[in-house]
Chain A
């Protein structure tokens, strides 16, 4: 083995072709992953994002070789690895539940993969130092995992993954047990490390913020299927379907059911209860090529694209304040407009009373329309 630090070692491109996973629970077949095709490029930071039970962890475990693949193929750097055992695939994995070796000290835990490969003590020591300082673990190296907090244990697990010289680094919710301060810190370091070393990373999380912040590309998954694979920016502003739009963003996107009517060279959207009416023109994020008058659609608009205004305009609506939260950095406003409830991200410390009437303007450039049947974006 060559002597080197944490810089990138091997080329690695991960390709999944129609990968499926079924398992049986009480004789009932459960389809955990229903055919996934994706390619994680060499040096890419890819995030698998989705709610719990969406198949993201299962997919990652199949890449690692910890779960047999029901159907389909997985390629690492062009080589099919379906039949390789986990130990032979040269992948490193940081487990969500740490998976530390309790009888060993932190130092021994982190060094374990290198010791198992019988690297020289000098190499182990120098890499250990580098990883420990990256994750701020120098102080706890001689303690056993049981004496560390959940966050620190998770750091140790991450360190044990990063110290390796693997083709691909898999990380399963590696920041989930950190407090929010640490999470910002480690997120920043991880991203900086990736920008420096360009290792191939597949990162699993259910936290959309984390995904947006870290990923080169995000694979949004739900119900065992890939929903969208794209850059964070596109995922956020051009969600392919209803699920992606709803899952990404906090507070989540507002959805209003209604219909489209022709107007000028565009359309006018009217909500079902007629309380809300907005022009939808070419500058919106989605515009149907053609639509019959009265075609039902779902209008989506993000909370930060609605803002209280003083005077009404073409893009404004009248609403009634239901709840106003001042959260320091920002304010969240929940308002009612007919039968629709809208959540608005606003400035903090507005003086608003419950039941107060308010005019809000909706950014016409950021409107998204969905087909209510297919739930796809128009």
Chain B
């Protein structure tokens, strides 16, 4: 159990920066997720913490010891690799025992046996201890690599997209298992992923990275409900948030959002008024999550008439692809039946859930 801090960390490969000026503070026992699309610098960051990659500038410390490059053997962190990185010529037992035999631990063989057996029981791999990695399925390999980290009781766990190579079903199931395990584990975990569901589900806090730069750090709710900018907003949620460009209208002393062609108009919450007026914004972007769009069958005052050209039924949800004037929208409902062919529908927008962004993509906040 130890905190991890990154101060002004920069990593360059040649001249290209993979991570720039990164500052992070991971508290002891925190489950910290580093999230971002491919090329965001997530894995580089993780490898620098592990001492596997040299820090170009800045400083990383675990607890009160500074991480030095190339000293990975000394720093007592355990890492779970995306590709599992099991030793192919060792059995499962030998794989899990390997870290315990190093010169920094050197446990006696009875202790090693008992630790490996304990962990393998809790991960339900005790039946495979004598097998070789090549004889295991993807899910089993994943558990073994988890086990190899758990036997050590390290100060920090580093996990590099550990679930990304599992098929969808197993991935969702393992995610929940990891969450259960996490509740028992009193150790800090730094978990890298590009799957927003993993980030939201597992994290105490999430750091969103983009091209090596930190975009936002916050709890899952903060990130989802109050994203700093368009980038963060569009990374969370599937299908992704609808971004609609439009204008701020002032009618009868109330502010309205209107698309440029006037096809959709809805009120802007009063709380945003001050900020909008202060910055004198005219053109703004509304971010409407597909779940905030209600499909209604008949006309009502708040309803907007749309042309829905396609709907998809994915079992528990129905997706509607719509067009209103020049704007395209995607909506999700939990029920509503499927259209056989394109038809006209009415929608209403849950206006209190709409996010607003300025021309630079920053979210407009209250006050």
Binding site for B on A (CB under 8 A): 51-52, 179-181, 184, 187-188, 191-192, 195, 206-209, 212-214, 232-233, 236, 248-252, 302-304, 322-323, 325-329, 332, 334, 345, 349, 354
Q: With an 8 A cutoff between CB atoms, is B325 at the interface?
A: no
Residues of B within 8 A of A213 (CB): 312-314, 319
Given A181-B240, A212-B313, A326 contacting B221 (CB threshold 8 A): yes
Which stretch of B19-27, B109-117, B167-175, B297-305 is in the interface?
B167-175
B residues 156-194 near A (Cβ < 8 Å) are 167-169, 172, 175-176, 179-180, 183
Q: How far is the CB of B317 from chain A (nearest CB, A)?
A: 9
Given A188-B321, A251-B172, A326 contacting B220 (CB threshold 8 A): yes
* Top-8 shortest CB links A-B: A213-B312, A325-B201, A304-B316, A328-B224, A236-B315, A212-B314, A209-B314, A184-B239
Select B316's contact among A180, A187, A345, beta carbons within 8 Å. A345
Residues of B within 8 A of A209 (CB): 314-315
A302, B316: Cα distance in complex, Å:
9
A192, B312: Cα distance in complex, Å:
11
- B180 and A322 form a contact (CB under 8 A): yes
A208, B240: Cα distance in complex, Å:
20
B residues 174-229 near A (Cβ < 8 Å) are 175-176, 179-180, 183, 196-197, 200-201, 220-221, 224
A213, B334: Cα distance in complex, Å:
14
B residues 304-360 near A (Cβ < 8 Å) are 309-310, 312-316, 319, 321, 330, 332, 334, 338, 341
- B200 and A184 form a contact (CB under 8 A): no
Q: With an 8 A cutoff between CB atoms, is B289 at the interface?
A: yes
Residues of A within 8 A of B332 (CB): 329
Q: With an 8 A cutoff between CB atoms, is B139 at the interface?
A: no
Q: With an 8 A cutoff between CB atoms, is B236 at the interface?
A: yes
Additional 18 contacts, C-beta under 8 A, given A232-B313, A250-B172: A184-B239, A188-B312, A192-B309, A212-B312, A212-B314, A233-B313, A250-B169, A251-B172, A323-B176, A325-B175, A326-B220, A327-B197, A327-B201, A328-B197, A328-B237, A329-B291, A349-B221, A354-B183
Which residue, B169, B175, B221, B332, has most C-beta atoms of chain A within 10 A? B169
A52, B167: Cα distance in complex, Å:
10
Q: How far is the CB of A365 from chain B (nearest CB, A)?
A: 12
Q: With an 8 A cutoff between CB atoms, is B56 at the interface?
A: no
A246 nearest CB neighbor, chain B only: B169
B169 nearest CB neighbor, chain A only: A252
Q: How far is the CB of A53 from chain B (nearest CB, A)?
A: 12
A248 nearest CB neighbor, chain B only: B315
A248, B313: Cα distance in complex, Å:
13
Binding site for A on B (CB under 8 A): 37, 167-169, 172, 175-176, 179-180, 183, 196-197, 200-201, 220-221, 224, 236-240, 289-291, 309-310, 312-316, 319, 321, 330, 332, 334, 338, 341
Q: How far is the CB of B90 from chain A (nearest CB, A)?
A: 26
Given A304-B334, A327-B197, A207 contacting B168 (CB threshold 8 A): yes
A235 nearest CB neighbor, chain B only: B315
A326, B236: Cα distance in complex, Å:
12
Q: How far is the CB of A362 from chain B (nearest CB, A)?
A: 15
Main secondary structure of the interface of B (DSSP, over half): mixed
Residues of A within 8 A of B200 (CB): 325-328
Pairs across A and B, CB under 8 Å, 9 listed: A184-B330, A188-B312, A195-B341, A212-B313, A236-B315, A325-B197, A325-B200, A329-B289, A349-B221
Residues of A within 8 A of B313 (CB): 212-213, 232-233, 236
- A328 and B172 form a contact (CB under 8 A): no
Given A184-B238, A250-B172, A304-B334, A328 contacting B315 (CB threshold 8 A): no
Q: How far is the CB of A176 from chain B (nearest CB, A)?
A: 11
Q: How far is the CB of B107 from chain A (nearest CB, A)?
A: 32
- A326 and B201 form a contact (CB under 8 A): yes
B291 nearest CB neighbor, chain A only: A329
Residues of B within 8 A of A326 (CB): 200-201, 220-221
Residues of B within 8 A of A195 (CB): 310, 341
Q: How far is the CB of A84 from chain B (nearest CB, A)?
A: 35
Q: How far is the CB of A331 from chain B (nearest CB, A)?
A: 10
A212, B179: Cα distance in complex, Å:
29
A354, B169: Cα distance in complex, Å:
23
A323, B175: Cα distance in complex, Å:
11
A192, B308: Cα distance in complex, Å:
11
Given A250-B172, A328-B224, A332-B176, A192 contacting B310 (CB threshold 8 A): yes
- A233 and B338 form a contact (CB under 8 A): yes
A184, B310: Cα distance in complex, Å:
12
Select B167's contact among A206, A302, A329, A354, beta carbons within 8 Å. A206
Given A233-B338, A249-B316, A323 contacting B179 (CB threshold 8 A): yes
A212, B316: Cα distance in complex, Å:
10
Q: How far is the CB of A321 from chain B (nearest CB, A)?
A: 11
- A180 and B176 form a contact (CB under 8 A): no
Q: How far is the CB of A186 from chain B (nearest CB, A)?
A: 12
- B316 and A188 form a contact (CB under 8 A): no
Residues of B within 8 A of A52 (CB): 167
A349, B219: Cα distance in complex, Å:
12
A302 nearest CB neighbor, chain B only: B316
A184, B315: Cα distance in complex, Å:
16
Q: How far is the CB of A355 from chain B (nearest CB, A)?
A: 10
A232, B319: Cα distance in complex, Å:
14
